[in-house]
Amino acid sequence: MARHIPGPLYLEQQGRTGTPMVFLHSTPDDHRLWLYQCAHFSSWYRTVAIDLAGYGRSPAVQEGVTIADQAAACWEAVDCVSDGPIILHGNSIGSGVAQRMVEQQSARVQALILSGTGYSPSAEVFIRWVERYKSEGIALRYKQLFDHFAPAVQKDPILTYYADMVVELNNAGTLASVIAMNQANVDRPPESYYRSIKVPTLIIAGTEDRSYQSSFDLQKLIPGSEHRSIEGAGHAPMIEMPWEYDRHAIAFLKKLGLFSG
């Protein structure tokens, strides 16, 4: 088992054939961040949405957990489905886990699609979330879910429904796990880490996301990576504007010869 994670991660699979397409969510979400993509891409792939440790139905993390620990646990989950190549999506902290998965088993990743992320050498934002969660408690999770959405859509009833659904799975270990994962992100990788990523990479960024400008900095660091913008989307474009997210992902996979739809 992966270090600091006492048990296998929960996953949901749709589709019985095709290359596994693996989805890793942001904090404080869970695997349902990708509900539209899992439904859509299961027409051609085996979609695998994973609850990171401490979120949804996965076990709570132990003190000292790292992003690399989460990545190792995700590979263990993937191996329950297939020991072959995968296509990998990650949003925000999920993108950090996805990059560590590439570091651990790059030969198995045919394509990497990142969103809600950028190059951020400063740990300030993660320290701030740690302090806020310690002060405000688990109620902050609901507020942070809406913080991921662009201001223009934060009152959308579908997104309210989504946020309500996520916090219904709060449990005794959720708060400590969310704090621990923000603490894990305080350890920022050097520029050389991003330059070592050699798999085909697409970065999808919402123009209303606070990390939008830094997403271009990330693109400059990852060799050969491509960048696509979604006008008006925030930190979670896959659920705010799933049709746009999917369009960019499909176009990228077609270029690589990985899409047969």
Q: What is the pLDDT of residues 184-218, one digit of tens each?
A: 999 999 999 999 999 999 999 999 999 999 999 99
Give the CATH number for residue 161.
3.40.50.1820
- To the nearest 10°, report the CA torsion of 60, 64, 66, 68: -100
- State the Cα–Cα distance between residues 220 and 215, nearest whole angstrom: 9
pLDDT in tens, 143-193: 999 999 999 999 999 999 999 999 999 999 999 999 999 999 999 999 999
Q: Which DSSP category does 188 fall into?
A: P
For the chain, how far is it from start to end, CA to CA, in angstroms? 36
Cα angle value 190/128/28 (rounded, 5°): 85
Residue 196 CA to residue 201 CA, distance in Å, equals: 12
Q: Is the pLDDT of residue 89 over 90?
A: yes
Cβ pair 151, 208 in contact under 8 A? yes
Is residue 5 in a domain? no
d(CA 230, CA 214): 15
Whether pLDDT at 16 is above 90? no
Residue with tokens 């896959």: 238
Does residue 190 form part of some domain?
Answer: yes
Question: Does residue 3 belong to any structural domain of this protein?
Answer: no
User: Do 42 and 22 form a contact (C-beta atoms < 8 A)?
Assistant: no
**Residue 4 placed within a domain:** no
pLDDT band at 260 (very low <50, low <70, confident <90, very high): confident
152 inside domain:
yes
DSSP state letter for 59:
P
133: exposed, middle or buried (C-beta count within 10 Å: 0-12, 13-18, 19+)?
buried
pLDDT in tens, 91-123: 999 999 999 999 999 999 999 999 999 999 999
Report whether pLDDT(261) > 90. Answer: no
List pLDDT tens digits, range 232-244.
Answer: 999 999 999 999 9
158: containing domain? 11-255
- Whether residue 6 lies inside any domain: the answer is no
* Residue 261 placed within a domain: no
Q: How confident is the model at residue 1 (pLDDT cuts 50, 70, 90)?
A: confident
CA distance 18 to 84: 11
Least Cα distance to 252 among 108, 14, 41, 96 occurs for 41
Cα(23)–Cα(35) distance, integer angstroms: 10
Euclidean distance between CA atoms 193 and 40, whole angstroms: 32
Question: Looking at the DSSP assignment, which residues form a beta bridge with residue 47?
Answer: 14, 21
Contact 77, 4 (CB under 8 A): no
Alpha-carbon distance 209 to 49, whole Å?
23
* pLDDT confidence bin for 17, thresholds 50/70/90: confident
User: What total of structural domains would you count in the chain?
Assistant: 1
